[in-house]
Amino acid sequence: MLVTISSQPERPKWLRAPAPVGDNYRELKELVTRLKLHTVCESAACPNVGECWNRRTATFMILGNVCTRRCGFCAVQKGAPLTVDYDEPRRVAEACAALGLRYAVVTSVNRDDRKDGGAELFALTINAIRERVPGCKVEVLVPDFQGSHKAMDIVMDAEPDVLNHNTETVPRLYRQVRLGAQYNRSLEMLRYASHVRPYIPTKSGLMLGIGETPEEVLQVMHDLRDHNVGILTFGQYLRPSPKHLPIIRYVPMREFLELKEEGLRMGFTHVEAGPLVRSSYHADESAHRQ
């Protein structure tokens, strides 16, 4: 059951994202359309699509744009999964080459219909980008693969430059926010990725403003450090539609800054924190600090 409240807090006037306009934005949109690709920027209604696309950066979403899970916060379409397109890795690599990317981010919908959760396509995409654009770094934002170490091995054997998996929220809210996911399973998958490739940085992120307490957030931060996560992101949850989880509060900027300072004190090598921060926001900058 989703939490419902009678009214939403008023959105602060300072919380505004750049409009999706500009030559680079139009060029990237045409490229994505021509190559029949999906981006989390559009499918998940990311508020940073205008800024990021004008910086000629995007997060490619493989394995279709229909998710097998029904998370309460996410705008990505839910339903029966699409047929796996084995030409998709080549097209993602072509887009990276056309954009002249030196850093690519690849994510996917959840594919619980597949034994490997889609890990094979992640590996194929990493290899395709490296072959087409030598020197281009690749960050992957992966699902939990239902806890399969074999699936994580497939991804880590392709040696992404950063392995990202979001915990998204605090354990108490998982049944509302991440239906089908398990907090301890996500932590274990991050630990395992770090164990099999200790030199590959691991990363995770949380949304704020959906009912968590400061104490719960701090505990998640400690848990992530205990599981060898080195890069952390914090952002404000923004409700995609009235059908999604309500916003409980808008987190002031000072709290984001305090979380960043606390994260660095805990030993995270990089913390990106702010209302419009998402897991792949300025991902290239966080990776360069490793």
Question: How far lies 22's CA from each of 60, 163, 260, in Å?
Answer: 20, 31, 32
Confidence (pLDDT) at 2: 44
Residue 192 to residue 197: CA distance in whole angstroms: 9
Q: Which CATH superfamily is domain 23-288 in?
A: Aldolase class I (3.20.20.70)
In this structure, the number of other CB atoms found within 10 A of the CB of residue 277 comes to 21
Q: How is the chain split into domains, by residue range?
A: 23-288
Confidence (pLDDT) at 139: 95
In this structure, the number of other CB atoms found within 10 A of the CB of residue 98 comes to 15
Q: pLDDT in tens for each of the 290 residues of the chain?
A: 344 444 678 777 666 655 555 566 677 778 778 888 877 555 444 555 545 545 556 688 899 888 787 776 676 678 888 899 999 999 999 989 988 888 889 999 889 999 999 999 999 999 999 999 999 999 999 999 999 999 999 999 999 999 999 999 999 999 888 888 999 999 999 999 999 999 999 999 999 999 999 999 999 999 999 999 999 999 999 887 788 889 999 999 999 999 999 999 999 999 999 998 877 655 555 545 55
Residue 134 to residue 121: CA distance in whole angstroms: 19
Confidence (pLDDT) at 37: 82
